[in-house]
Amino acid sequence: MRQTTSLSAEDAAIAAGFERFYELLRRLTPRSELSLTAASTLHRLDRGGPRRLCELHAPEGVSQPAMTQLVTRLEKEGLARRGSDPEDGRAVVVTITDAGREAVARRREGRTRALAALLEQLPAEEHAALVAALPALDRLSGLLAS
Amino acid sequence: MRQTTSLSAEDAAIAAGFERFYELLRRLTPRSELSLTAASTLHRLDRGGPRRLCELHAPEGVSQPAMTQLVTRLEKEGLARRGSDPEDGRAVVVTITDAGREAVARRREGRTRALAALLEQLPAEEHAALVAALPALDRLSGLLAS
DNA sequence: CCCAGTTATATCACTGCCTTATACAGGTTT
DNA sequence: AAACCTGTATAAGGCAGTGATATAACTGGG
């Protein structure tokens, strides 16, 4: 078991690499129509299906009022809609609309395009190394999602 | 030359992986004392040395007034200071302070710690794949920095 | 069955950080 | 020195977050 007070040099190297990479992705993301939280929430609704409002704010790491306001904005822009839960009159069930799905797709495509332009400048073996690392990235994401 | 209208399936897979990964990093970053731009700017000042204000706003992807305001906040918090350029009376030279360096280090350590906790749950070969992908990540970051 | 407590959402007042438009001081050119 | 250009600051406004609190709907014990 790894000590929490000492970080391995290798982990530190990975973290440093990820840090630069995070900045890269941040700059790669076009100043879009969607805020970070809005994009992430829509993405979650897209792959996970409708959710109650109270099930959305915690995983997105924002307060409940922030999620209420976000859903209000999304609704106003036609990207999501509020519904009710027949089993619980208090609950608000949030559903992504087709327009919302399109917005998610557009955002993804914009980022993919910018990334692809960089990827094609990469030596073949580094490109291959990225592809080889994808399962690890997936697993990392999965670890936190649970 | 790649068509701009068609993206290779491989690039799309990398982009999709990166997208989930970006969300992961976002959630991994502790709600810290520093905004995204503040952290990135301090980091830049830390590794690149003092810069004029006008050299900071473009690479950070914000407007010039935003950078003026950010520097004012950083100065108020003691993380950076304004100096003058003896060669140009208009210029403001921004320098990171020791407190600023500490803030960057704290932020990095927080993220590293959270990441390390995930990394140790990774199978050895996936961990190795991440390490192997680091040079590619570095090069990607370098491509955009230029 | 009703009152108390809990849960889900909304509203309010405030703050942080961004934007565009504009002012202005310091350089540069002719 | 007049005209222009560049670097920074200020002003006014918007979006997205916060904590505190209100309100409506569910739940469980007497």
- pLDDT for the residue B123: 93
Report the footprint of strand C: residues with C-beta closer than 7 angstroms.
A 52-55, 64-65, 68-69, 71-72, 82, 88, 90-93; B 35-38, 61-63, 65-66, 69-70, 73, 88-90
Instruction: Report whether pLDDT(A114) > 60.
Output: yes
Residue B4 domain-assigned (yes or no): no
- pLDDT for the residue B4: 47
Domain that holds residue A83: 35-145
User: Taking a C-beta distance cutoff of 8 angstroms, is the pair A80, A89 a contact?
Assistant: no
Q: Which of B104, B113, B115 should one mutate to test binding to chain A, selecting the residue with the greatest count of A CBs within 10 A?
A: B115
Instruction: Report whether pLDDT(A8) > 80.
Output: no
Measured distance CA(B24)–CA(B26) in Å, rounded: 5
Q: Is the dihedral of CA A25, A26, A28, A32 positive or negative?
A: positive
What's the number of domains chain A is made of? 1
Q: Which residues 6-65 of B are in CB contact (within 8 Å) with A?
A: 7-8, 10-29, 31, 36, 40, 43, 61
Residue A10 domain-assigned (yes or no): no
Residue B16 domain-assigned (yes or no): no
CATH of the domain at A75: 1.10.10.10
d(CA A60, nearest CA chain B) in Å: 8
In this complex, which of A8, A132, A140 lies closest to B24 when CB atoms are compared?
A140
- pLDDT for the residue B6: 57
pLDDT band (50, 70, 90) for residue B30? low
Which DSSP helix (H) or strand (E) runs through A53? none
Residue B60 domain-assigned (yes or no): yes
- pLDDT for the residue B27: 76
B8 or A6: which carries more pLDDT confidence? B8
User: Taking a C-beta distance cutoff of 8 angstroms, is the pair B24, A141 a contact?
Assistant: yes
One DSSP character per residue, A74-129 reads HHHTTSEEEEEETTEEEEEEEEE-HHHHHHHHHHHHHHHHHHHHHHTTS-HHHHHH
User: Taking a C-beta distance cutoff of 8 angstroms, is the pair A109, B12 a contact?
Assistant: no
Residue A7 domain-assigned (yes or no): no
- pLDDT for the residue A81: 96
- CA-based radius of gyration for chain A: 19
A112 or A71: which carries more pLDDT confidence? A71
Residue B19 domain-assigned (yes or no): no
Residue B5 domain-assigned (yes or no): no
Q: Is A128 exposed, middle or buried (0-12, 13-18, 19+ CB in 10 A)?
A: middle
Instruction: Report whether pLDDT(A86) > 70.
Output: yes
Chain B residue with the nearest C-alpha to that of A104: B19
| Distance C24 C1' – B89 CA (angstroms) | 13
Sort out which chain B residues have CB atoms less than 8 A from A140's CB and list them.
Answer: 21, 24, 118-119, 122
Instruction: Provide mean pLDDT across the span A3-24.
Output: 73
Please give the span between the terminal C-alpha atoms of chain B, in angstroms, as a whole number: 21
- pLDDT for the residue A6: 58
pLDDT band (50, 70, 90) for residue B145? low
Residue B15 domain-assigned (yes or no): no
